[in-house]
Amino acid sequence: MSAEEIIRLDMGKMDGDTAADAAATLCLGIESSCDETSAAIVDSNRNILSHIIYSQIPEHQKYGGVVPELAARAHILAIDEVVRQTLERAGKTMGDIDVVAATAGPGLIGGVLVGWMAATGIAQATGKPLVAVNHLEGHALVPRLCATSASGAAGGSHVEFPYLLMLASGGHCQILLVRGVGKYELIGQTLDDSAGEAFDKVAKMLGLGYPGGPVVDTRARDGNPTAFKFPRPLCDKPGCDFSFSGIKTAARTFLDRNPAPHTDEFINDFCASFQASVVDCIINRLTNAMCDTRGAAAAPRTLVVAGGVAKNSAIRAAMEELASRHGMIFAAPPMNLCTDNGAMIAWAGIENHRCGNIVREPVAPRPRWPLTEL
């Protein structure tokens, strides 16, 4: 497989292509937990020297979702070339790298094993320290590497601890108080489906393809969010937990009663109405979380969203408005660092290495690994 076939997205250098300080720590990060094989070189001065993502979406689109066996095989075929290209485009060799980091879970275990064994082999062959990164911590810490506002404008200085985090993806939906590296307090979580799964399933119901979240967001911009009525589960209840299965079931029931073919106007209105219900649930639960943490000894001053669902324009805008109402700063990763990527793993590697969290005995990759166990 040629480099041209493998490299679907190359982000190059960031932070204005600032040259890395000679004294900065360089980390090679590898991510392979789902359907992206990615590697990046990031330095401790928050510069991304190179970043490559091989996306498997074309391989999985025909099935309407990720097929674990196909994903693992694709990681095996891509990993060597992705790492080689990452080093080459940064103008570095393995001798220049100070730390190696890789996702050790959670995720599809076949893919996790590919990336983890590659990183382990590199570390053992070169004598470099190795960091086992929790994939969720990669998402949680990437706003400290670089952050933007909801509009995409640069967020200025990096996010400081502590901060209130909405972590939302295809597999997870949690509200966390982030006090520091490895210090996470769970405030609320989904009791059933994640927000990302709900978006993908509704897109599939409408025949919009995979991945569904970006398509629903795009179609919703041209729709009427009050055209159809969807439930807002738990919004009349105290607490910070989510439930999205009821919204998904309501969508299925409504479409059964109004079968295809659907007009573009119907699809746009449906997406807008569905998305509005998800956004209302998120804002309701976050409002409760902000009230719960306001009296803490070290109350968070920043509201952060991360994970694949953080790309949703309506969620970003609503969270920025919520933060403004409560006198908080809003921050989110740039769009290209919301989905799974090697840069977030490299940065989490730097943050953990700084704290002395390196591998000193064999690590078994984990399909499940809650942040609260760090």
CATH of the domain at 134: 3.30.420.40
- Residue 53 within a domain: yes
* Confidence class for position 10, pLDDT limits 50, 70, 90: very low
Tokens representing 300 are: 């968070």
258 lies in the same domain as 289: yes
Sequence-ordered list of residues with C-beta below 8 angstroms from that of 285, at least 6 positions apart, any chain: 175, 188, 234, 239, 240, 241, 242
* 352 lies in the same domain as 282: no
One domain for residues 250 and 321: yes
Confidence of residue 34 (pLDDT cuts 50, 70, 90): very high
Give the whole-number percent of the chain exceeding pLDDT 90: 84
- Regarding whether 13 and 114 lie in a shared domain, the answer is yes
How many angstroms separate the CA atoms of 140 and 151, rounded?
Answer: 20
Would you say residue 155 has pLDDT above 50?
A: no
Average pLDDT over residues 85-110: 98
The pLDDT assigned to 171 comes to 86
Residue 237 lies in a domain: yes
Q: Which of 84, 89, 80, 32 minimizes the C-alpha distance to 56?
A: 32
For the chain, what is the radius of gyration of the CA atoms?
Answer: 20
pTM for the whole structure: 0.92
Q: Would 137 be classed as within a structural domain?
A: yes
AA letter at 48:
I
**Residue range(s) defining the domain that contains residue 258:** 163-332
pLDDT at 268 over 70: yes
Q: Determine the pLDDT at residue 6.
A: 45
Rounded CA gap, 138 and 341, in Å? 9
User: Stretch 34-63: mean pLDDT, rounded?
Assistant: 94
**Residue 275: C-alpha distances to residues 64, 213, 217, 241 (Å):** 20, 10, 7, 18
The answer on pLDDT for 22 being more than 80 is no
Render pLDDT for 205-231 as a digit per residue (tens, 0 to 9). 999 988 899 999 999 999 999 999 999
Q: How does the average pLDDT of the chain come out, rounded?
A: 91
Same domain, yes or no: 324 and 357: no
CA separation, residue 75 to residues 115, 352, 363 (Å): 8, 25, 20
Check whether residue 141 and residue 185 sit in a common domain: no
Domain co-membership, 182 together with 291 = yes
Q: Is residue 142 located within the same domain as residue 179?
A: no
SS3 75: helix
- Domain count of the fold of the chain: 2
- For residue 61, pLDDT beyond 90: no
Residue 298 CA to residue 301 CA, distance in Å, equals: 9
Residue 8: is its pLDDT beyond 50? no
Mapped onto helix, strand or coil, the DSSP state of residue 177 is: strand
pLDDT classification of 153: cutoffs 50, 70, 90? low
Quick: pLDDT tens for 159-189: 999 999 999 988 889 999 999 999 999 999 9
Residue 117 and residue 167 share a domain: no
- Say whether both 190 and 241 belong to one domain: yes
Note the pLDDT of residue 295.
67
- 261 in any annotated domain: yes
- The answer to whether residue 238 sits within a structural domain is yes
Q: Which residue has the higher pLDDT, 347 or 62?
A: 347
**Mean pLDDT for the stretch of residues 362-374:** 94
- Any domain includes 154: no
Taking 50 as the threshold, does the pLDDT of residue 129 lie above it?
A: yes
Based on the domain organization, do 327 and 347 belong to the same domain? no
Same domain, 8 and 132: yes
Q: Is residue 258 part of a domain?
A: yes
For 230-263, b/e burial (b = at least 16 CB within 10 A) is: bebbbbeeeebbbbbbbbbebbeebeeeeeeeee
Q: What is the pLDDT of residue 58?
A: 85
Query: Tokens 């509200």 belong to which residue?
Result: 175
pLDDT for residue 17: 41
For residue range 188-197, list pLDDT tens digits in order: 999 999 999 9
Residue 19 has pLDDT above 90, yes or no: no
Does residue 151 lie within any of the structural domains? Answer: no
Flag whether pLDDT at 119 surpasses 90: yes
Give residue 65's pLDDT.
Answer: 83
- Token pair recorded at residue 254: 């409504």
pLDDT attached to residue 158: 77
